[in-house]
Structure 1
Amino acid sequence: MNNLSPFDPNSLRLQFPALQLEIDGRTAVYLDGPGGTQVPQSVIDAMIGYLSHGGSNSGGPFLTSQYTDHITNAARTAMMDFYNARRPDEIVFGQNMTSLNFSLSRALARTWQPGDEIIVTRLDHDANISPWLLAAQDCGVIVRWLDFDPVDCTLRLDLLTDLLNEKTRLLAITYASNAVGSITNVQHATELAHAAGAMVLIDSVHYAPHGLIDVQALDCDFLISSAYKYFGPHTGILYGKYELLDALTAYKVRPAPAKPAGKWETGTQSFESLAGVTAAVDYVASIAGEGGTRREQLVQAMQQIKTYEMALSQRFLLGATQVADLRVFGITDMERLTERTPTFAVSIDGMTAESVATRLGEQGIFVWHGHYYAVAVMARLGLLDEGGLVRIGFVHYNTFDEVDRVLEALAQLR
């Protein structure tokens, strides 16, 4: 079977302690990346380093507090590079993406009037649906739904224009589906929404470990991701255009910091996690090798990752055709691999998703089953009450041998 890329993950795998885990004498296969990736030693060291050094709360006129401020500023700058934001003050940290989205939805809802409209999609994780449904319910705003094609599980952007009008205030849209891997042309969607006068929030949680993010090119108003999906700690990161973060009223205790970023960060941050965020961004950048700015390295690294992951997808999809009774949902056309991430929702006729995941787990192959909070996706596919699907997710530290191993295991289940 021909590979699309000479990328070799083996040297990178050595940096991940968790990837050395063995079960019954065989190395464990982590195919649960869409639910959270493992972390390299550099991230672990960065978090331990902060705690070992001794930190204090931010804003104090003494050494340990100044150290905390340095760690926070470094993380803000790292995520500025990761997102290609214009300035560090456009980066906001929070407990997780869901918490940040609830905070943002509450703030934006203050600017809406009864009869206004928002658009959510059936392809999104519920963390980019429920916050907006609740906010709309609170202030009498109409919710419009953008559907996806159940055949290839791609968002129906051709229907977006029909939903947009002068009353539309927000489009909340996914960059890539955490369930079926489909990538959305969010730049085009943003252009359409802005032409109608609506703001755009992009959920990039699933896309971030697989493709380059450039908020300036996208021109989105807000974008959210979670560092634990790209080899970092459990921290959510919000990008917002400076003028919007500055103008909106954040729900926060008094007095709120003057700078927009701090204004949106509630309570004391997990500073050790922020040290890990910087290390995670630096790890991804290091894949490109030496030379250039961190942003330039990120651009190169993400291209290498994408090319290699397309090869993993190719190998999996070709092998899947040889597994009896196995169905892969979403894009399966080899000519369309650029339109999906290496995340596959599958089913085996006659077996529940739970039983498949359990049997694989017994063999040291870790996959998720159920709806993985993509509730609207499973409902649209008619599978929500049937136990959902099995999700097999590859990232750049996975190998072709691991692809073969899960395919062999799936073939033997029946």
Structure 2
Amino acid sequence: MVFPISHIRDRFPSLSVKDGERDRIYLDNPAGTQVPSTVIDAITHYLLHNASNAGGAFATSIETDRTWRKAHEDMATFLGANSAAEIVIGQSMTSLTFHLSRSICHDFRPGDQIVITRMEHEGNVGPWLEIARDRGLEIRWVEFNRDSWQIEPEDLAASLTERTRLVALNYASNMTGSVNDVKRLTRIAQDAGALVYVDAVQLAPHHLVDVQALGCDFLACSSYKFFGPHMGIVWGKEELLTSLYPYKGRCVSDASPDRFEMGTPQYELLAGLSATVEYFAELGALCGGSGDMRAQIAHAYDAQRRYEEPITNQLIAGLQTIPGVTIYGISNPNRIAERVTTVSFRHDRHDPKAIATALAQSGIHVWHGHNYAYEPARALNLPLEEGVVRIGLSHYNTQSEVEHTLNEITKAVKIAG
């Protein structure tokens, strides 16, 4: 069936906001997506009708308890987890990773090794560098292949030793958009005796996540990257979460996930998180899917990928026609399934800030800089103070928006030149 783009755009009220007479075009999606009205309504409804702390005998507190449980249950469904006990929710992926790194590495010994790939966002680098410094651990790096733009299995295997305790793996790059074969890489790491911590922040807005199929030990994502509120989520195997040493207050339950969720949760955002998962199920039904919530979510991803991939190829092909542009990532249209919609580029005469500023003046929202893809930028020998221009499409963007953006980039380059 035809992807119902008009109906979908109507679900996102911010898409109709104008700056004067000028439409906004949101291509800043890798840093954070817009949200549907149902998510906004769920947050507002909680604040109006159920604002309370948890654990009380009165109505609003009982509803708050239900909101907390439902958010964990819904995220378990969203990620394909075995149970809600495997879902840890917090402020952000980075803050959760910093917190959990202390527990994961609690029993590591000086000289033990953590392997990190050069594709990682800083959120899956900084926490491991800090705990390695604290505990005398060794960091080993795995380069990404400059031809495939992916982590090659043989390169990961070559980095592993009998002292490797953990591997930090990037699922999809927030700079190049490349998607790694995390299932295969996980198997290689685990065969060497290592735990695997996966950053799926950039993948989750575009591809279905199935933690059981992947076989990894931990997986992190951020709901504000897939049309939800500003929250981070980490899935972990229940037997691991219950065996780790928890850094927590004395009054906190020792049950999972309570033992890793510090302080009072953001209950209104948890209500929005459930509405975000429900949005995917509703999208699946709208696109002709059937079955339970997980099946509907899977159908939504299939439908949006069929829509997003052609406009991503349109963007890449258009950029390739602009003299002086270099794209950092997979540009072969036959490999579109091996990347997400994030496309980064540089021009040989104009710095990224100048191009991004020119686009902003035309109402087109894009990012410039290293965008916390610090290691990829260093690996590619990019000027860190400049980085790249980064464009990221979503399922609510249109072919005409891509065409207009390409025209404005061409205009910006000519005017500046």
Relative to the length of structure 1, the TM-score reads 0.97
Amino acid at match of 2:405: V
User: Match of 1:100?
Assistant: 96
- Counterparts in 2 of 1:243-254, with a 5 A limit? 243-254=239-250
Amino acid at match of 2:105: A
Q: Are the aligned partners of 1:79 and 1:278 in contact in 2 as well (CA < 8 Å)?
A: yes
2:26 is aligned, of 18, 26, 30, to 30
Q: Are the aligned partners of 2:328 and 2:343 in contact in 1 as well (CA < 8 Å)?
A: yes
Which deviations, in whole Å up to 9, do the C-alpha atoms of 1:207-246 show, x marking residues without a partner?
A: 0001000000011110010100000000111101101111
> 1:27 Cα deviation (Å)?
1.8
Of the structure 1 ranges 6-15 and 179-188, higher mean CA displacement relative to structure 2 is found in 6-15
Amino acid at match of 1:412: K
Relative to the length of structure 2, the TM-score reads 0.96
* Percent of paired sites with the same residue: 41
Q: Are the aligned partners of 1:176 and 1:206 in contact in 2 as well (CA < 8 Å)?
A: yes
1:112 is aligned, of 108, 113, 123, to 108
Q: Are the aligned partners of 1:114 and 1:141 in contact in 2 as well (CA < 8 Å)?
A: yes
In the superposition, relative to structure 1, how do residues 409 and 152 fare at CA in structure 2: closer, same or farther (>3 Å)? farther
1 CA distance for matches of 2:53 and 2:143?
45
> 1:80 Cα deviation (Å)?
0.5
Unpaired segments ≥5 residues, structure 1: none
> 1:321 Cα deviation (Å)?
2.3
User: Match of 1:56?
Assistant: 52
1:204 aligns to 2:200 (yes or no): yes
User: Match of 1:11?
Assistant: 7
1:79 aligns to 2:78 (yes or no): no
Which deviations, in whole Å up to 9, do the C-alpha atoms of 1:261-281 show, x marking residues without a partner?
A: 111100001000000000011
Matched pairs, number: 410
> 1:24 Cα deviation (Å)?
4.5
2 CA distance for matches of 1:243 and 1:76?
17
1:361 aligns to 2:360 (yes or no): yes
> 1:386 Cα deviation (Å)?
5.0
Which deviations, in whole Å up to 9, do the C-alpha atoms of 1:113-161 show, x marking residues without a partner?
A: 0111110111010010010011011111111101112345322332111
Amino acid at match of 2:410: A
Amino acid at match of 2:78: F
2 CA distance for matches of 1:386 and 1:277?
35
2 CA distance for matches of 1:65 and 1:33?
35
User: Helix, strand or coil: the match of 2:257?
Assistant: helix
User: Match of 2:261?
Assistant: 265
Which deviations, in whole Å up to 9, do the C-alpha atoms of 1:239-298 show, x marking residues without a partner?
A: 011011111111111122132111110000100000000001111121111631110001
- Counterparts in 2 of 1:116-155, with a 5 A limit? 116-155=112-151
Which deviations, in whole Å up to 9, do the C-alpha atoms of 1:312-332 show, x marking residues without a partner?
A: 111112222222222211100
User: Helix, strand or coil: the match of 1:110?
Assistant: coil
2 CA distance for matches of 1:163 and 1:326?
34
Unpaired segments ≥5 residues, structure 2: none
User: Match of 1:170?
Assistant: 166
4+ residue runs over 4 A deviation: none
1 CA distance for matches of 2:143 and 2:292?
40
2 CA distance for matches of 1:247 and 1:58?
26
1:310 aligns to 2:309 (yes or no): yes
